[in-house]
Amino acid sequence: MSDGYRAPVEEMLLVLRAIGGIETLPPSAERPEVDLETCRLLLEEAARFAAEVLAPLAPRMDREPPRLADGEVVTTPGVKEAYARFIEAGWNGLVFPERWGGQGLPRLLQAATDEMWNAANMTFALCPLLTQAGIEALLAHGGDELCRRYLPPLVSGRWTAAMCLTEPQAGSDLGALRCRAERSEDGYRLFGQKIFITFGDHDLADNIIHFVLARLPDAPAGTRGISLFLVPKWLPDEAGRPVRRNDMRCLKLEDKLGIHGSPTCVMAYGEEGGAVGYLIGEEHRGLRCMFTMMNQARIAVGNEGLGVAEAAFQKALAYARERVQGRRGGRPVPILAHPDVRRMLLTMRAVTAAMRCLCYETAAWLDRSERAPRPEERERARARVALLTPVCKAWCTNRAVEVVSLALQVHGGAGYIEETGIARLYRDVRITPIYEGTNGIQAIDLVQRKLFLEEGEAPWALLRELWEEGERLRTSPLAAASGALMQALSVLEQATKELQQADADDREAAAMPYLELFGWSVGAVLLARLARSAAETALGPRLIGAARFYLEQLLPQAAALAGAIRAGVAALDPDWLGEP
């Protein structure tokens, strides 16, 4: 049974052009120029794969999770075949350099395909997401030998990767980890356990490459003493063939609220003498390498939220058009006729469109950080990516949970029943504000670090661009709604100025309301730009309407966050909580 998802290809193409500027991205030696017709053909093919292969598999992955049999993880029937088709089509290596077997296409284009994979089947999409994060770490820090041996099978998808960071006592506080590494003649030997390892073991690929944080015996305390190691499930020979099982195994699979089809593993290393591992980067400098993986994954998790939100909106809209309930003018009507239902659907529509703009905008800046011809342009782009990453991850996933909750509400009691599929989407999307550093951590990163990039100039460069776009709104079809945008930008500007001057405790107390204001404001500007660009197209009326609803109905609520931002840590007195 099809899960009903159909990718909005025309709108995606418009966002690629109007927001991402895909036709003007600078080419590079390893990342050639791409034309709009190539983009269309690729997105249409991805849309077919998502609708015909991934979406029908999602309900079964939810009902029949992987199981642990004789120490090996067996995935849901049909997943192995779908994954084989996925890598055969080349989707895994879309953006990676051609010399390693990739296609060298823009990351902006991958943002669109990732949206499709997540909308159709987020649980499946978790596997390539983690492999791609591991590839990024090797490209940046791996060295010639590790890249030569491991990149080709990882880029192709014949091998997959897993990020192995968390331990029971060391979740977000990685400085507390206890997994240890010892130097040996053939590299390093690792000992310890990791928890919450997504796709840490499975039967989809010939090998699984773990990227493991561990501590050497002479390591300094805290995060400065962490090293990153590549630990393959199967040790390859000189020809790259996996020949010998490494000393690592899956102890158990977690029973989770959602993402049932994704094996979340408790992994043990070194029970029989030590798991062979290879250093990535330098000893005691693993956190830097890990953040290369983590930051890419954070942007990808923002895309997870976008994809699931789009899928939920499509389901809710279809249901609202078909479900007859109540009467208006003496006649039975579908629930779409009721203003409250329309309000929920318009909220979902407008917010999802803004999320798409923000995710694609972030990907486009990531492309510029790699492709721009001049060093100063690349440096500016890197600062913009760093500024947008926590907002892309946290604001989009916060909104995704709200959008899917609204979709469930539109369905009424039927939404609470598994048969409609909305309950599954709600359970699946709830992990996204937790993944890759909780959204609270993203907000703290924004106010404690990212506001001070380029000696504090990075947010002001963005604000100047937002104001310029706001001025253009005054002579557009959205002129009547421009006042709400100007008000939000004024609040954001003042809050930015105050937080740059505040002490660390007050900044941290303001972190989440500030991130929310930041996300709502940037989303408003990008959605308004998209609507202006669409004015003369068939999508114009819908996008102008969505942008107007966003500016008039949703953005004023965000501007009201000024008081919460200004209140500081004194407004969060733990004594007010009372005793449990």
Positions marked catalytic: 436
Cα dihedral value 304, 306, 307, 308, nearest 10: 80
**What DSSP letter does each residue of 136-180 carry, written as one string?**
HHHHHH-HHHHHHHHHHHHHHTSEEEEEE--BTTBSS-GGG---E
Distance CA 196, CA 496 (A): 36
**Contact assessment for residue 246 and residue 162, using Cβ atoms and an 8 Å cutoff:** no
Query: What's at 568, amino acid-wise?
Result: G
Name residues whose C-beta falls within 8 Å of residue 154's C-beta, 6 or more positions apart in sequence.
Answer: 131, 134, 135, 138, 160, 161, 209
C-alpha span between 326 and 359 (Å, rounded): 39
Nearest of 309, 388, 378 to residue 349 by alpha carbon: 309
Find tokens 């953040």 and name the residue. 291
Cβ density class 509-535: b for 16+ within 10 Å, e for less = bbbbbbbbbbbbbbbbbbbbbbbbbbe
Secondary structure of residue 251 in the 3-state scheme: strand
Instruction: Assess contact for 164 and 248: CB atoms under 8 A.
Output: no
